[in-house]
Chain A
């Protein structure tokens, strides 16, 4: 049993764990039992299209501007500006570790009709439960998953970052990378960009705010995926017009 078998099993297990998610996906997953005999025969001859999705390795980045460092009014802003010592990649405390952990992202992705959102409604969704290393994401020339699907696509969540701007504006930024391989081993199309959604309740100020803050992150995570799909669609139209 190769590593791929383990991943498939993990994906299946993940779908079982999140029963609601499996139900939500059912519209985009080919169900041989429910399909007519002819459709079943077709499915057996040609394996279904697949959209493989990987979560990012958690939520670890706090990007803030110089001006927001003090975060304590005008004096704080001025101190922040004067320090101008840049920002560190740091782990955000409170509820964020759990709210956008790899497990939480996997659950959120399983809960969304990702193929429909991305514009690939006939693709079977395969959500992986392990994040990829950045060098794998950026340097893999071919398919990351050893799938032989005749119509294979990948969506990798490369990064999830919290960004705090001057005067308190907070955003969740997500970097998506999409590649469509069709039936080949080399991508026919690739597109990657950041999506950005404003946060209203994160980070929490008290323990009582943690649930709302986590819900805020989840909502922004979903919104970013939808936003990315819009960018992808817009880019597709642009490419078609160029041709």
Chain B
């Protein structure tokens, strides 16, 4: 009789547990912000410095205009969302991605140590694109480098994990020559931006695994 009662209570507990489980916890959130800052630095045989910068200033200004256009905020966010973010940065299943179309003020990137959104999610992460940087060096050629930062806050306002690093890959088409078709070169920026994130994400996963193992 005792056993029967126990079994009945267990069954009752199980039945009342079902609705509790059905009320699944609020999903995790990943908030993403695009970069505001674009930069282009061309160094010639002088190896950089003020004179080199002056010599290439026109070209760099033009490159910045093209970077800012091809990688405007929606394009950056679209590029990130077109990737498998869940696997790339080990997101919890069902994580909701929240887009922020307005970039953050770059100067506050490192100063602010709390959540950048008003979200009170119990499982909260941020992915911030900090910088987009085109570089042309006399020996190394042309590349696009991107600085990304992931912060994991867990359920509070304190950073549990942070990983900030550059991803960088070579360019073969950008910048286009004046008057020539620029579409492929501008599209290349989007492709390499995504490649940079994949490179960053691989390093981020390795870093997270190392930290978790400690």
Contact = CB atoms under 8 A, between A and B. Distances in A.
Interface of A: 61, 63-68, 78, 81, 84-89, 133-135, 138, 158-159, 161, 163-166, 169, 173, 175, 177, 190-194, 196, 230-231, 234-235
A203 B178 CA distance: 24
Nearest to A61: B68
Contacts of B178: 193-194, 196
Contacts of B75: 134-135, 138
A87 B39 contact: yes
B204 to A, nearest CB: 23
Interface string B49-65: 01001100110111011
B53 A87 contact: no
A15 B5 CA distance: 84
A63 B37 contact: no
Interface residues of B, number: 34
Contacts of A89: 36, 38, 68, 72, 103
Interface in B123-151: 131, 133
Interface stretch (B25-33, B84-92, B157-165, B179-187): B179-187
B78 interface: yes
A171 to B, nearest CB: 8
Nearest to A80: B53
Interface in B155-201: 176, 178-183, 186-187
B66 A64 contact: no
Interface of B: 36-39, 50, 53-54, 57-58, 60-62, 64-66, 68-69, 72, 74-75, 78, 103, 106, 131, 133, 176, 178-183, 186-187
A234 B179 CA distance: 9
28 contacts: A61-B68, A63-B65, A64-B61, A65-B58, A67-B54, A81-B50, A84-B39, A86-B39, A86-B106, A86-B133, A87-B38, A88-B37, A89-B68, A89-B72, A134-B74, A135-B75, A158-B69, A159-B65, A163-B64, A165-B57, A166-B54, A193-B178, A193-B179, A193-B181, A194-B65, A196-B62, A230-B179, A231-B180
Given A191-B181, A193-B181, A78 B50 contact: yes
Nearest to B60: A65
Contacts of A133: 74
Contacts of B133: 86
Which of A65, A67, A169 has the most chain B CB atoms closer than 10 A to its own CB? Answer: A65
B185 to A, nearest CB: 9
Given A87-B38, A161-B68, 17 more contacts: A61-B65, A65-B64, A67-B53, A78-B50, A88-B37, A135-B74, A135-B75, A138-B75, A159-B65, A163-B64, A175-B69, A192-B182, A193-B176, A193-B181, A194-B62, A194-B66, A196-B178
A231 B39 CA distance: 27
A216 to B, nearest CB: 18
B73 to A, nearest CB: 8
Contacts of B176: 193-194
B10 to A, nearest CB: 54
A165 B58 contact: yes
A157 B205 CA distance: 41
B57 A231 contact: no
Contacts of A135: 74-75, 78
A63 B182 contact: no
Contacts of B183: 177, 190-193
B58 to A, nearest CB: 5
Contacts of B53: 65-67, 81
A163 B50 contact: no
B111 to A, nearest CB: 15
A86 B105 CA distance: 13
A163 B182 contact: no
Q: 10 shortest A-B CB distances, which residue pairs?
A: A166-B57, A86-B39, A65-B57, A86-B37, A192-B183, A159-B69, A63-B65, A231-B179, A193-B182, A65-B61
Contacts of A81: 50, 53
A63 B64 CA distance: 7
A64 B38 CA distance: 11
A67 B37 contact: no
A161 B38 contact: no
Given A68-B57, A135-B75, A169-B58, A85 B65 contact: no
